[in-house]
Amino acid sequence: MAGRGPFIGAIADDLTGATDLALTLARGGMRVRQVVGVPDASTDLAGTDAVIVSLKSRTIPAAEAVAQSEASAKALLAAGTHQLFFKYCSTFDSTDEGNIGPVIAALMALTGEDRTIACPAFPANGRTVYRGHLFVGNALLSESGMRNHPLTPMTDSNLPRLLRRQTDVPVSLIDISTVRTGSGAIREALKSTRGIAVIDAIEDTDLMTIGAAARGLKLVTGGSGVALGLPGNFPLDPAGASDTAAVPSGRAAVLAGSCSEATIRQVSAGLAGGMPGFRVDPYDLAAGRTTPEHAIAFATDAPGDRPPLIYASADPASVRDSQEAFGREAAGAMIEEFLGRVAIGLAARGFDRMVIAGGETSGAIIAALGVTELDVGPEIDPGVPWMIANRGGNPVALALKSGNFGANDIFLSAWGKLR
Ligand code: ADP
């Protein structure tokens, strides 16, 4: 099909990040299509304002993350994409071996750009960048719960310093005083930038200013917050925002693989609110004492008034313990695979509404379910939309919740938003 390509072609390093970005752009009036995995020849990238490719590249080896991101960028550029956006987590989620720096460097090389911006700020969720340091609420990133993350423990809040350990591309800072002077001042600062400019942002108004300054940049990088200001740069059809597809109304369940503090609070609130709980113990999984069939039977037999909650979420000491026993990656992979198999079993038994907690966990479950395209549905909490997938002709509603997102009662309150 001829016609213009997407205004924005985004590559997200995990699935919940992609849905969060999809929501931000849809709210900005864009028609948004989310594609799971590197696009291939059969993927239709035309006829939308924004295409978001969601990868599961946050914690894979850097060379693989670069290869997948490059392949996605090539497909997006070949479809006529005006601006590429590399989306990563608002808590950065990238250690010294991590992928953000290498992927930015590769996308700069691919687009021939010698400058771009990096801004993970998401003030609505308490993530702000000040003088190059990332804060989570009132704490530096390195003093927040992220220091105990199972896969990407964050021990440095200084983003330029962290990026310099990941890439040879020069990294500089555009600080809040320049941002507050306005988008013209940011553009001036960008003119003299070679490489990656980390940009301070404390409030949404800062992100709008940065978004306006990013007009014409071939490559933008950041959290979904920086996308707040991007739709305004393009001539959008006012009637064009995404339609919400048919909403399913079958059985509901929560699958939680996140050990982030917010998810742990949400699990407690769900159990206290009467959700039937099935705790997944890594030792029981490894020994075969717990199988997917146990969890599927538990959910299927649970009384219908509250959705069952199947969770591996555990406190930092328990996570450390199972990581020492099985290895960090192996423990994560074992649980992700388990939850994927549970999701398949539940879908086959009429569960067509699921809240999934955890970025990696969501990616694993979407892959297990074989879902490749998602439409944006109603928003539950900031950054957490319902997404409607088409599975063999039947709609399935999936809320893909990044571990640290969502109100404490989200496992109880999410369902009301679907109607
Ligand atoms: P978040 O969005 O909070 O970062 P993720 O799903 O991305 O959550 O990552 C959490 C990782 O921790 C997953 O790989 C998950 O399988 C793993 N995990 C969950 N529970 C445990 C546990 N009890 N011990 C060790 N690892 C765990």
Please give the pLDDT value at position 52. Answer: 96
CATH of 251-417, one of 3.30.750.200, 2.60.40.150, 3.30.465.10, 3.40.980.20: 3.40.980.20
Q: Would you list the domain boundaries of the chain?
A: 8-233, 251-417
Pocket of ligand 1 (CB under 6 A): 150-151, 257-260, 263, 282, 312-314, 318-319, 322-323, 331-332, 335-336, 358-361, 402-403
Please give the pLDDT value at position 246. Answer: 66
Please give the pLDDT value at position 3. Answer: 66
**Minimum-distance ligand 1 atom for the alpha carbon of 404:** 3
Q: Which residue has a Cα nearest atom 19 of ligand 1?
A: 257
Task: Give the pLDDT confidence of 337-369 residue by residue, as tens digits.
Answer: 999 999 999 999 999 999 999 989 998 999 999
What class does CATH assign to 8-233?
A: alpha beta
Please give the pLDDT value at position 242. Answer: 45
Task: Give the pLDDT confidence of 5-54 residue by residue, as tens digits.
Answer: 999 999 999 888 898 899 999 899 998 889 999 998 878 787 789 999 99
CA-based R_g, the chain, Å: 20
CA-to-CA separations, 166 to 68, 197, 210, 217, in angstroms, rounded: 18, 14, 24, 23
Q: Which residue has a Cα nearest atom 11 of ligand 1?
A: 332
Sign, CA torsion 51/56/57/59: positive
**Which residue ranges in the chain fall short of pLDDT 50?**
1-2, 242, 244
CA 322 from centre of chain: 25
Q: Which residue has a Cα nearest atom 10 of ligand 1?
A: 258
Pocket test for ligand 1, best of 125, 258, 285, 322 (most atoms within 8 A of CB): 258
Could you tell me which of 243, 241, 271 has the C-alpha nearest to residue 256? 271
Q: Give the integer Cα–Cα distance in Å for 341 and 365.
A: 8
**Minimum-distance ligand 1 atom for the alpha carbon of 321:** 24
Pocket test for ligand 1, best of 151, 152, 260, 339 (most atoms within 8 A of CB): 151
The Å distance, Cα 94 to ligand 1 centre, comes to: 15
Q: Which residue has a Cα nearest atom 17 of ligand 1?
A: 332
The Å distance, Cα 223 to ligand 1 centre, comes to: 21
Please give the pLDDT value at position 245. Answer: 53
Please give the pLDDT value at position 40. Answer: 86
**Minimum-distance ligand 1 atom for the alpha carbon of 362:** 6
Please give the pLDDT value at position 239. Answer: 67
**Minimum-distance ligand 1 atom for the alpha carbon of 336:** 16
Q: Give the integer Cα–Cα distance in Å for 249 and 350.
A: 10
The Å distance, Cα 413 to ligand 1 centre, comes to: 23
Strands 277-279 and 8-12: unpaired
